[in-house]
Amino acid sequence: MSVELGYTPLAQIPEIHSRLLSTFKSGITRPLAYRRKQLLQLARLVQENVTAIEDAELHDLGKPRQEVVMVELGTIVQACLYAAERLEEWNKPEKPTVEEWRSSWDTTVYKEPKGVALIISPWNYPIVLALDPLVGAIAAGCPVVLKPSEITPACSSVLINLVQKYLDPAAYVVVNGSVNETTALLNLRWDHIFFTGGTKIGKIVAAAAAKFVTPLTLELGGKSPVIVDPICDIELAAKRVLFGKIQNAGQLCVSPDYVLVPKSVAKEFKEALKKAYEQFWPSGNPLDTEYKWGKIVSVTHYKRITALLERTKGRVILGGRTEGDRRIAPTVIEGVGIDDSLMEEENFGPVLPILEVENVDEAIRLVGSRPTPLVIYLFTDSEDTKQKVFEGTRSGTICMNDTISQLSVYEMPFGGQGDSGYGAYLGKGTFDVFTHRRSFIHVPKEIEPHLAFRYPPYTADSYKV
Ligand code: NAD
């Protein structure tokens, strides 16, 4: 597959922006029938192009087809249908319960599209992380410029071709580009910016948004820890941690980044990891299984991860093999200390460091001393430990006795806290991101006698009730 795709000329970017502004002002994106049609078109875009999208993911990330369908394509189709079915309900004005004496007033909260939105997406899930926020923007009635990552060009190419073919080109445009194009976009005024990526670039986006007081959702990353309590099903914990770690070769924002396990059960946990590893790859070498184990996205990231592995003071107990073609076997490392290379930054690769601690209290202290993670994975059967971790830590999400399942629950917000970002989405939450809740009150003339107290002249007695 060859990808020849030029970047969007910089001069076109303000033109695209003002075109979308006119579209929004014209009101065509507002009717629910229009929004529903675009959502169903987006579902069709995915359903009718599964092979093309899988091929693009294979080209950019070597991603197994099963993972593409399971995690990316299925998710988008489901999100579109879920939103299309609930549009009326989500968009319905709300009537708050007010104090009795105001019951004759009209007090209504209307749902309005915020306006023209900018979505900037990363490379690790190049389709779902671009299109999932788009579902919410369409449902809310907002035109969108979508800027996918330059690091996955085949996926960007597919997005450009298919979005213009399936969606209304007057309202939804993909801008292809890198830093210059994104900077040009960020120099313009948007009504909402939705950014998914690393914390470093997130800060650049936040500064740009602040210039125009533009509301912003920051879906960032960080090191998400696993805390293993001795009171848990150790074998299942190890299997579920390894499963979470191997998704997209560890290039996942909610990947279990490192494991904190009390010394009393560390040996048992590592043996359980070995058992799970043998179950997942009976040959003992995941790199033998072509198309079943993904690649690292680029040579730069491959070198970054292998450099971390070269510098670690820990010992490889599982995996450890690397191959020139950007492939790294899932690798488990024991004996890792808090100042190890593997604890410096988000690993964002198939590497699982294991840190042994005295007990869960020490694990809580350690997590609390680091930037707030997107998620904490806790394995325990103890209600006391659950409470202790809840009260002693901060994170976007806590996921107990599993990994990555939080992404599949549409009824709950998904987002970070502190360094892992702010704002949240999924399901109705994505519609809410792009929706302004506009309060309306109408105070009837007839209640004037009840309001007499508020008018001057004020006297010493006028405020007494
Ligand atoms: P990134 O921050 O490097 O890039 C994200 C986007 O920002 C890309 O579209 C890129 O073109 C753009 N960009 C890059 N440099 C820029 C600059 N100087 N100015 C403006 N825009 C710029 O992130 P990435 O490497 O693509 O993705 C990996 C990171 O994203 C990880 O930290 C991961 O944890 C995080 N992530 C978070 C979530 C989440 O939902 N919270 C999901 C996926 C990935």
**ipTM confidence score:** 0.96
The predicted pLDDT at position 460 comes to 75
| Percent of the chain topping pLDDT 90 | 89
Report how far apart, in Å, the C-alpha atoms of 253 and of each of 34, 49, 348, 416 are: 33, 26, 8, 10
Token readout for 145 is: 């410029």
Over 60: is that where the pLDDT of 401 sits? yes
Ligand 1 pocket, CB under 6 A = 120-124, 129, 147, 149-150, 178-179, 182-183, 196-198, 201, 204, 219-221, 253, 346, 348, 374, 416, 421
Catalytic residue among 67, 219, 334, 346: 219
CA distances from 65 to 54, 55, 126, 337, 454 (A): 6, 8, 14, 36, 68
At 325 the pLDDT is 77
Model pLDDT, residue 286: 83
User: In this structure, are residues 154 and 131 in contact, taking their beta carbons and an 8 Å threshold?
Assistant: no
Long-range contacts of 78-83 (CB under 8 A, 24+ apart): 78/410, 79/131, 79/132, 79/135, 79/410, 79/427, 79/430, 80/39, 80/40, 80/42, 80/43, 80/46, 80/135, 81/39, 81/43, 82/410, 82/427, 83/39, 83/135, 83/136, 83/138, 83/139, 83/430, 83/431
SS3 381: coil
Question: Distance (Å, rounded) from C-alpha 360 to C-alpha 227?
Answer: 7
Mean pLDDT rounded to a whole number for the chain: 95
Q: How many whole angstroms from 303 Cα to the centroid of ligand 1?
A: 18
What's the CA gap between 240 and 132, in Å, rounded?
A: 25
pLDDT value, residue 294: 80
Output the six-digit token pair for 282: 């009976």
- Amino acid type, 448: E
Q: Give strand pairing partners of 63.
A: none
- Classified as helix, coil or strand, 323 is strand
Instruction: Return the percentage of the chain with pLDDT > 70, whole number.
Output: 97
Tell how far the Cα of 200 is from the centroid of ligand 1, in angstroms: 8
The preferred substitution site among 71, 124, 132 for testing ligand 1, maximizing ligand atoms within 8 Å of CB, is 124
Taking 70 as the threshold, does the pLDDT of residue 2 lie above it?
no
* Residue 122 Cα: closest atom of ligand 1: 26
pLDDT over 60 (residue 465): no
Instruction: Mark 171-209 as b/e (b = at least 16 C-beta within 10 Å).
Output: bbbbbbbeeebbebbbebebbbbbbbbbbebbeebbebb
Residues in a beta bridge with 398 = 376
80 annotated active-site: no
Lookup: tokens for 315: 């010992």
Position 66 scores a pLDDT of: 86
pLDDT of 150 strictly over 90: yes
Q: What are the pLDDT digits (tens) for 321-352?
A: 888 778 999 999 999 999 999 999 999 999 99
User: What's the CA gap between 435 and 50, in Å, rounded?
Assistant: 31
Q: What is the mean pLDDT of residues 149-164?
A: 97
Distance CA 96, CA 437 (A): 12
Position 462 scores a pLDDT of: 62
Average pLDDT over residues 444-465: 83
**Residues contacting 80, CB < 8 A, separation 6+:** 39, 40, 42, 43, 46, 135
- Residue 438 Cα to ligand 1 middle (Å): 32
Residue 421, beta-bridge partner list: 219
pLDDT band at 288 (very low <50, low <70, confident <90, very high): confident
Candidate list 80, 142, 155, 253, residue with the active-site label: 253
User: What is the model's pLDDT at position 63?
Assistant: 87
Q: Is the Cβ–Cβ distance between 385 and 275 less than 8 Å?
A: no
Report the separation in Å between the CA atom of 197 and the middle of ligand 1, taken as the mean of its atom positions.
Answer: 3
For residues 407-420, average pLDDT: 94
Name the band, by pLDDT with cuts 50, 70 and 90, for residue 129.
very high
Q: Does residue 369 register a pLDDT over 60?
A: yes
- Residues 394, 224: Cα–Cα separation, whole Å: 11
Q: Indicate if the pLDDT at residue 319 is higher than 80.
A: yes
CA of 195 to the centre of ligand 1 (A): 8
**Dihedral sign, CA of 170, 163, 38, 75?**
negative
| Pairing assessment for the beta strands 421-422 and 216-219 based on DSSP bridges | antiparallel
pTM for this prediction: 0.95
14-18, 319-323, 416-420: which has the minimum mean pLDDT? Answer: 319-323
Q: Closest by alpha carbon to 141, among 40, 33, 43, 46?
A: 33
Residue 111, SS3 per DSSP: strand
H or E stretch including 65? Answer: helix 65-67
Stretch 231-260: mean pLDDT: 97
Q: Which protein residue has the closest C-alpha to ligand 1 atom 17?
A: 179
What's residue 290's pLDDT? 60
pLDDT at position 140 is 98
The gap between the terminal CA atoms of the chain, to the nearest Å, is 79
Which ligand 1 atom is nearest residue 197's CA? Answer: 30
Residue 393 has pLDDT above 60, yes or no: yes
Nearest-10 Cα torsion for 142, 147, 153, 157:
30
Res 458: pLDDT: 87
With the most atoms of ligand 1 within 8 angstroms of its CB, the residue from 182, 346, 414 to mutate is 182
| CA 222 to ligand 1: nearest atom | 34
pLDDT for the residue numbered 287: 82
Judge residue 314's burial from the number of C-beta atoms within 10 Å of its C-beta, 0-12 exposed, 13-18 middle, 19 or more buried: buried
Q: Is the pLDDT of residue 420 over 80?
A: yes
pLDDT of residue 289: 66
DSSP output for 22-38: HHHHHTTT-SHHHHHHH
